[in-house]
Structures are given as C-alpha cells and as structure tokens.
C-alpha cells in the first residue's frame, strides 16, 4: 500500500518537518482568506510524515495561527473598505435565517460550513473581533484536535498502512458530515445552497 508519510519523507528528507508546518500554515491561510482547500486532508497528510503527538501539536498550532490570521486580516481589511449596501443587506438578511445570529456561528461553522470568508462576514455583521477570534480558536482546537487525537490513536493501535487507511476514512467522514450538515441547515432555513 502507498504510504503518504514515507513518500513525503523521501521527497522532503529528514528536515521536511519545518517545510510541512509552513505549508500547513499557508494552506489554512488560503482556506481562511480566499477559497476552500479541504485543509483536513493536507493536515492529516502532513501528520503522516511524522505521526507523533509532538509533531501533530506543531501542525495544530500552525493551523490555528493561520485560521486566526486569515480571519483577523479579512476583518480588518473589510473594516477599511466601504461595503456596498447590497452586500451589507444580504449579510444581515442571511443572518436572520441562521440558527445562530452572533459570533457563536463561527464555532458552528467548523462543523457545518454556513458562512464563507468568516472574517469579512463577521465585520459586515458587526460582530466583535475578540469574540469572533475566540470562537474561531475554539472551533479549530476542537475540530483539528479531534482529528489529531483520532489519527494518533490509529497510529498507536494499528499498523502503519491500516492507520493511514482508517485516518483517511475518518477525515472523509468528517468532511461529508460537514457538507451534509451544512446542506440540511441551509435547506431547513430556505437558504441558497451555493456560497
């Protein structure tokens, strides 16, 4: 069976850990600011390079730092711009249909993606930056912390090949559950399915 970790080790060598941490930071930053990248797969692929809890914690720190940086950057950039009334009205109308109408939505957004460009959305919605950052932090810790714990569990109790397979199945399940939850919530509240 093809091993992602062995392949990464062959390509990057023994000093690839820092490069992978930087790559995770950039992928999560792009995901937070520009367009979805399915960061869960990249996160876990990087973890396969060195499936130890210590390395996983460095990856988790990079992911959280990037998510926070992307959210805060968009929040501040939108604060400097003049937002067209049409967009402002659309964001506020969208909020009226959602389960939560405040910063807590950023926590729910980790499980069921409901809002794109969370930093810009938070600014237009008039949410507090500190509360928004707090919920993004908690959401990242929970989601990627659970992914890390489960992957570490698989690597401790199964062979390398089986651990990789089970982890990838787990990540696919997380992504599918996120999309299905988002679809159900949007449909329940009569929201458009495309963001």
What would the 3-class secondary structure string for the chain be?
Answer: CCCHHHHHHHHHCCCHHHHHHHHHHHHHHHHHHCCCCCHHHHHHHHHHHCCCHHHHHHHHHHHHHHHHHHHHHHHHHHHHCCCCHHHHHHHHHHHHHCCCCCCCHHHHHHHCCCCCCHHHHHHHHCCCHHHHHHHHHHHHHHHHHHHHHHHHHHHHHCCHHHHHHHHHHHHHHHHHHHHHHHHHHHHHCCCCCCC
**pLDDT tier at 163 (50, 70, 90 boundaries)?**
confident
Of 101 and 130, the structure prediction assigns the larger pLDDT to: 130
Q: What is the mean pLDDT of the chain?
A: 86
Q: Tell me which residue of 130, 70, 79, 72 sits closest to 103, measured CA to CA.
A: 130
| pLDDT reported for residue 192 | 55
Across residues 109-118, what is the average pLDDT?
Answer: 81
- Angle in degrees, CA 186, 173, 115, rounded to 5: 30
List the structure tokens of 33. Answer: 């600011």
Measured distance CA(151)–CA(61) in Å, rounded:
16
Residue 57 and residue 17 in contact, taking contact as beta carbons nearer than 8 Å: no
Question: Does residue 99 have a pLDDT over 60?
Answer: yes
Residue 154 and residue 51 in contact, taking contact as beta carbons nearer than 8 Å: no
| pLDDT reported for residue 195 | 43
**pLDDT tier at 190 (50, 70, 90 boundaries)?**
low
| pLDDT reported for residue 101 | 76
- Give the pTM: 0.83
List the structure tokens of 57. Answer: 């914690």
């Amino acid at each position: 069976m093809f091993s992602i970790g062995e392949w990464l080790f062959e390509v990057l060598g023994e000093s690839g850990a820092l490069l992978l941490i930087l790559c995770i930071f950039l992928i999560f930053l792009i995901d937070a600011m520009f367009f979805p990248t399915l960061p869960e797969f990249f996160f876990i692929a990087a973890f396969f390079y060195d499936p130890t809890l210590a390395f996983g914690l460095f990856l988790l720190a990079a992911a959280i730092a990037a998510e926070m940086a992307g959210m805060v950057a968009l929040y501040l950039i939108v604060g400097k711009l003049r937002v067209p009334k049409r967009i402002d009205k659309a964001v506020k109308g969208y909020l009226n249909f959602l389960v939560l109408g405040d910063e807590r939505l950023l926590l729910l957004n980790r499980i069921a993606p409901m809002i794109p460009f969370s930093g810009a959305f938070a600014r237009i919605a008039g949410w507090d930056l500190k509360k928004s950052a707090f919920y993004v932090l908690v959401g990242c810790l929970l989601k990627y912390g659970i992914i890390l714990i489960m992957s570490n569990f698989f690597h401790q109790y199964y062979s390398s090949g089986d651990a990789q397979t089970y982890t990838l199945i787990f990540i696919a399940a997380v992504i599918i559950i996120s999309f299905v939850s988002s679809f159900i919530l949007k449909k329940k509240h009569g929201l458009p399915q495309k963001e």
